[in-house]
Structures are given as C-alpha cells and as structure tokens.
C-alpha cells in the first residue's frame, strides 16, 4: 500500500493553496526584478560562502528555483510525501488487514496536511530541499522575501543577498559534503524502524497541528504539544532524535555564521539587518512552533542559537580549517553535549588540518 493510501499529497497541495494567504502587492515589473535579483544573488553568494567556509563549490551543484507560495507548496507536498513514505508505508503494512486506508481517510488527512503547508508557505524565506524525489534544489520564496524586507524596512538588495547566503550555505553543505544527505536519510530510516506509531496516532497528530493553526488567534502563544516522533519515544528513538537535532543545529548554526561573517563590504547594512531580523524572530516565530509540534524536534530557534555558539567557539579556538574537520566523517559530528561545550569537541576530534576537498 502506497503512502498515498494514508495521506493524499495531491489533496494536500490543493488544500494548501486554498488556505495560503495572498502575498504582498507588487507590480509585474517589481516581481520580475525581484526574481532576477534573487537569481543573481544566489549566484553571487556561491563565491562569498566558499571564501568564508573555505569549502570549494563542487563542479555540479543543485539548481536554484525562485518560487511563489503556491510553487513552494507544490515542491514541499511532493518532498514531504517522499520523506514520509517509509513511515506511512510501515503503518499501512502493519494495518493492511484492518482497512487502514479507509480508517485514516487519505483525503481528509491530506486536507489537514495542506493546512500546515499553507501556513508555512507564507513564512518560509528560503529552503534547500534535500529529500525531494528529484534530488536537492534551492528554493527562494520571492513574495515572502519581499514581504519580510518591507516589514523590516531594510535595503532590498542587501536583504536578498543576505538570505541567499544562508540558503547557499545549506546547498554547499549537502553538495560538497557527499555523506551529509545520506546520514540524514539513515537517521530517518532508523527512526522509522524504531517507531511503534499506529495509523490513528499519525492521523490524530496531523489533525491536531492543523487544528492549532486554524485556532491560532484563539490559542495565542500557547506552548505547542509534542510531535509525531514523540508519541512513542523509546531510548533508541531518543538517541536518534538527539543525533538528528545535533546535526541540524550544526547546519543551521553554520549558515547563520556565514550570514554575518560576510561583513559590510559584501552586505553594507548587514548589522542593521541582523538587528532587525533578530527582533523579528524574538517577537514571532510561528514556523518554529509548527516544526516542533509536527516533528517533535528541538525548536529551530534553539538550533540557530546553539549551532551558532558552537561554530563561534570552535573557530575562535582552532580557526575555520580546524572547524572543517567536522565534515571529514560522521564520527566528527558534534554530540548535543559537545554542541553546548565546543571545547569538548575540539579535545575529542583534535582538528589539525584542512578537510579533504576544502580550499
């Protein structure tokens, strides 16, 4: 039984497009100009990211797509469906004789999943899509970037390059370090294997997330509940989640480091952008609450903060060449304990040279 028997992702995409908010008003000229500039900024970011990270761009990298909110929903409904397929297939197989497809109601669950996609589609600025069936691709959501730069009242040219620096760093991580993507897939597969979720739990959790989004005004800033993977956390699952959280924190912190390391010679108003963006994150981070609610992982805000402190601490002690030893092998990835105490990672790994492939 395919994953579509439990969640109809075509329905999810259509539902997401129905509920997503309209983007900011822009003229056709403004829209075309923004798309062109975002493409140029992503291209320009390659050199800056390589200069800061000391990791050479690979000969063949993932494509850049500038999309609107509906386009983001299309890509992510397909990508999330592809990512969740092993988990859903496992649940379907375990319940094959009980009519699980009818029990869950693929179209109903697809509609609820679409509510989540629609909510996120108006907030995500950019994303490196790792798990889609077509391979990696960098997404830049033009209306959201325009909306953010207007609300922050920052220089659009600077802000667009600044956002691209973050997302291009993620692209470099997954294209230059060839084992990172497979490492993440392995962790997810191991989590699925260790899972004892049932189909009713999956259906209920998606409905809870969608319901919370629908009632957001009424619920205010109420702390969200636990997510899908937290429904049945064995010690084995907790260990996997901790490894996933550590590597996600590393990747996010690395991208945050690059965004600010470029300096005013590249992004003249970088200090102003960071100050205003930090205030925006502190005041409202719905996407973080949704991800925590849906996935049961650490909030992305904590990943940004802890990952950034780790990179700062390691680079201060052993330089970027020493830090780049983290990409040499999965054994060199920091644990959550080391993430919070960079000196422990330095003591264990003893970085002495440049990572193979780094410039």
State pLDDT tens for residues 300-346.
456 667 889 999 999 999 999 999 999 999 999 999 999 999 999 99
pLDDT band (50, 70, 90) for residue 284: very low
**Could you give the CA distance from residue 332 to residue 348 in angstroms, rounded to a whole number?**
9
DSSP-derived 3-state class of residue 139: strand
pLDDT band (50, 70, 90) for residue 77: confident
Buried b (16+ CB within 10 A) or exposed e, 73-104: bbbbbbbbbebbbbbbbbbbeebeeeebbeeb
Which class for 18: exposed (0-12), middle (13-18), buried (19 or more C-beta within 10 A)?
exposed
- Model pLDDT, residue 37: 98
Buried b (16+ CB within 10 A) or exposed e, 151-184: ebebbeebbbbbbbbbbbbbbbbbbbbeebbeeb
pLDDT band (50, 70, 90) for residue 60: confident
pLDDT band (50, 70, 90) for residue 134: confident
Beta strands in the chain (DSSP E): 64-67, 126-129, 137-141
Q: Which residue bears the tokens 């850049």?
A: 64
- Across the chain, mean pLDDT equals 80
Q: pLDDT at residue 9 above 60?
A: yes
The verdict on pTM exceeding 0.85 is no
For residues 211 and 260, is the Cβ–Cβ distance under 8 A?
no
Centre a 10 Å sphere on the Cβ of residue 299 and count the other Cβ atoms it contains.
16
40: CB partners within 8 A, 6+ apart: none
Q: Tell me the chain's radius of gyration from C-alpha atoms.
A: 20
Beta strands in 22-152 (DSSP E): 64-67, 126-129, 137-141
- Model pLDDT, residue 221: 42
For residues 296 and 230, is the Cβ–Cβ distance under 8 A?
yes
Q: pLDDT at residue 359 above 60?
A: no
Tell me the torsion sign for CA atoms 242, 247, 250, 252: negative
**Could you give the CA distance from residue 149 to residue 356 in angstroms, rounded to a whole number?**
38
Q: Which residue has the higher pLDDT, 197 or 185?
A: 185
Q: Which residue has the higher pLDDT, 69 or 60?
A: 69
For residues 62 and 171, is the Cβ–Cβ distance under 8 A?
yes
Q: Which residue has the higher pLDDT, 2 or 155?
A: 155
């Amino acid at each position: 039984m395919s994953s579509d028997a439990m969640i109809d992702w075509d329905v999810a995409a259509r539902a997401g497009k129905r509920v997503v908010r309209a983007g900011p008003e822009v003229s056709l000229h403004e829209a075309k100009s923004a798309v062109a500039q975002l493409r140029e900024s992503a291209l320009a970011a390659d050199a800056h990211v390589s200069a800061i990270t000391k990791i050479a761009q690979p000969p063949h990298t993932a494509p850049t797509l500038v999309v609107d909110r509906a386009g983001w929903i299309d890509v992510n409904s397909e990508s999330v469906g592809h990512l969740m397929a092993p988990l859903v297939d496992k649940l379907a197989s375990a319940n094959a004789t009980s009519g699980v497809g009818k029990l869950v109601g693929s179209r109903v669950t697809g509609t609820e999943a679409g509510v989540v996609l629609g909510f996120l589609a108006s907030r995500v600025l950019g994303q490196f899509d790792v798990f889609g069936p077509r391979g990696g691709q960098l997404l830049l959501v033009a209306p959201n970037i325009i909306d953010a730069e207007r609300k922050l009242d920052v220089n659009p040219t600077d802000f667009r390059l600044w956002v691209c620096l973050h997302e291009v760093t993620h692209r470099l991580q997954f294209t230059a370090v060839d084992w990172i993507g497979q490492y993440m897939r392995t962790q997810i597969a191991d989590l699925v294997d260790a899972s004892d979720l049932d189909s009713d739990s999956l259906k209920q959790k998606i409905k809870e997330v969608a319901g919370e989004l629908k009632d957001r005004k009424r619920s205010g800033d109420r702390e969200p509940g636990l997510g899908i993977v937290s429904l049945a956390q064995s010690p084995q699952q907790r260990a996997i989640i901790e490894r996933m959280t550590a590597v996600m924190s590393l990747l996010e912190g690395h991208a945050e480091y690059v965004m600010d390391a470029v300096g005013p010679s590249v992004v003249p108003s970088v200090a102003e952008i960071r100050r205003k963006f930090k205030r925006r994150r502190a005041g409202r981070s719905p996407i973080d609450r949704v991800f925590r609610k849906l996935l049961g992982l650490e909030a992305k805000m904590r990943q940004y903060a802890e990952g950034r402190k780790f990179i700062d601490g390691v680079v201060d002690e052993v330089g970027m060449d020493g830090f780049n030893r983290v990409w040499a092998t999965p054994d060199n990835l920091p644990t959550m304990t080391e993430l919070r105490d960079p000196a422990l990672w330095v003591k264990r790994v003893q970085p002495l040279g440049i990572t193979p492939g780094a410039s």
